[in-house]
Amino acid sequence: MTSTHPDKDTVRIRRAVRGDLAELIALENRVFSGDRLSARQWNRHLASDTARVLVARSHGMLLGASVVFFRSNSSIARLYSLATVPEARGRGIGERLVAASEQLARRRHCRSIRLEVRRDNSSAQRLYERRGYLRIGERPRYYEDGETALRYGKVLSRTQR
């Protein structure tokens, strides 16, 4: 990455396309030590009507991504994954991806959004709590390394940004 300080005005969030696949896989492998999405899963999500992959880019560089799942006949969206490159952390990239994921869920007429986050990931927990997510439960031994997942949820109003 040539710049570790993306200018807020140059960061663009858009739906991921097949051309983003190699960078999405590289991001996943770089950021997560386990529970990684495979190339096959990424391909499936990119083509799916029930999943949306969003990417944050600046000056041609991938800074982060989110994956949101939707179920037929459900008003609940699921923020399945959120990742940002280490050099861009603390610069609002994750927050912008979460906001874009929420907006996408609203456009799909979802009334709420839920997610799981590792119990040992306090920075992600703070991000979600700042955005109005409430802890609604736990899933013991949820991750492949045995870590517990904290479950969060948020009611989406039409006027939230």
| Rounded Cα–Cα distance for residues 149 and 146 (Å) | 9
> pTM of the predicted model, to two decimals?
0.89
Q: Is 8-155 a domain of CATH 3.30.70.260?
A: no
Please give the Cα distance from 79 to 97 (Å, whole number).
10
At 52-79, the pLDDT tens digits run 999 999 999 999 999 999 998 899 999 9
Least trusted range by pLDDT, from 9-13, 19-23, 25-29, 58-62:
9-13
pLDDT tops 60 at residue 5: no
**What sign does the CA torsion over 15, 18, 19, 25 have?**
positive
- CB-neighbour burial class of residue 119 (10 A; exposed 0-12, middle 13-18, buried 19+): middle
The per-residue pLDDT for range 27-44, each reduced to its tens digit, is 999 988 888 888 999 999
